[in-house]
Amino acid sequence: MRLPVTAGDFREQARSRLPRFLFDYLDGGATDEHSLRANETAWRDVTLRQRVLVDVDQVDTRTTLGGQACAMPVVLAPVGLAGMMAQRGEVQAVRAADAAEIPFTLSTVGICSLSEVAAAANAPFWFQLYMIRDRGRIEDLLQKAWQLGCRTLVFTVDLPIPGMRHRDTRNGLGATGLRAAALRAWQVSSHPNWLWNVALRGGPLTFGNLSEAVPGGRNLDAFKAWVDSQFDPTVTWLDIAWLRQRWQGTLILKGILEAEDARHAVQVGADGIVVSNHGGRQLDGVAATASKLPAVVAAVGGQTEIMVDGGIRSGVDVFRALALGANGVMIGRPWAWALAAAGETGISQLLRSWQQELRLAMMLTGVTEIAGIGCAQLDQLSGFPAGEYE
């Protein structure tokens, strides 16, 4: 076995360590997964301009995101069920993020609760929320997050209903009945280390933030059925205005792809947006986030903070996103793969590698600080000509 270095290395180790239904849940996308693959390949089309004989002895990757100082412009994105990828996974992730001096975002449907993550955190962490039908539950979660020190809320706006994720269906994830249960049990039995370290020693494997709301105790199928029933397709910008009135901290809307929606986000009072197609997990056939970023930057770049996610797999990709106008990036699958592969240590290794890759990209393009990264570092012969986002 070779030592993992890249996100791809950690992905392969995660594949060997996780039951099939969990790996595919993490790895898969909507329908035929065209958008999932396009997210990755689009970053490769963003080519950089190498510069030489520039004094780059002092390179600084520090910046600020969501009003929080960061060692580099990277945020650990919310990942549902992360606590099933490793023992108390969200706790391990927040520790790694704190050590790397970057924000961690806890998912509403994480395994570990707000209280558990807060007890493990050494710095403020972010909280992600969906607009569910039970508005009282939303208000309760907002109040609890605030009381526990969260000051940045990441609100996901591209999930009126869950996308069609065929890998999950094939694996019986979320399905009821003996056949689905037997399929998952067989997959678990073939991974005894996961069974012992995560399922048995890492329990309870329930949605910690929703345990009081969901009947069914520790039954994940009951939890999933409740969560699926709570996604609200009636949500409009008026609901975001309602949310803005109730959250006094930083509000970031995640799931914006179009410039028109970005303008609405600014008008309703969002402090930031995340250009995102949900990692290709919602609507297959939508454009890659890298291709959508320049237009969003042109529309609202001077009015709000812009982050981007989807297909970012290296520190060089982080640089590409900044050159296209983003203030920072969110990463999901890479940190979850590293978590599944090697826990907190794996995430720390991945983040150190990415910071060094980012620093190297800055040095070889003649930039010494994050604020200096922009269209001047992009090759105008690439698929993203500078004129589109100046």
pLDDT in tens, 220-245: 566 666 767 778 889 999 999 999 99
pLDDT at 381: 55
Query: 203: which 2 tokens?
Result: 């329990």
- Model-wide pTM > 0.95: no
Count of structural domains within the chain: 1
65 falls within a domain: yes
Nearest to 225 by CA among 239, 209, 210: 210
378 falls within a domain: no
Q: Is the Cβ–Cβ distance between 14 and 340 less than 8 Å?
A: yes
161 falls within a domain: yes
Instruction: Provide CB contacts within 8 A for 40, sequence distance 6+.
Output: 311, 313
Quote the CA–CA distance of 178 and 186 in Å, as a whole number.
12
pLDDT at 45: 94
14 falls within a domain: yes
Confidence bin at 155 (pLDDT 50/70/90): very high
pLDDT tens digit sequence for 82-105: 999 999 999 999 999 999 999 999
Confidence bin at 175 (pLDDT 50/70/90): low
Domain that holds residue 169: 7-372
1 falls within a domain: no
What rounded mean pLDDT belongs to the chain?
A: 92
Q: What residues act catalytically?
A: 278
Q: Where are the beta strands (DSSP E) in 29-96?
A: 63-65, 68-70, 74-76
199 falls within a domain: yes
| pLDDT (average), residues 14-32 | 95
259 falls within a domain: yes
Is the model's pLDDT at 382 over the cut of 60? no
| Cα dihedral 317, 322, 326, 331 in deg (nearest 10) | 30
120 falls within a domain: yes
CATH number for the domain harbouring residue 93: 3.20.20.70
pLDDT tens digit sequence for 325-344: 999 999 999 999 999 999 99
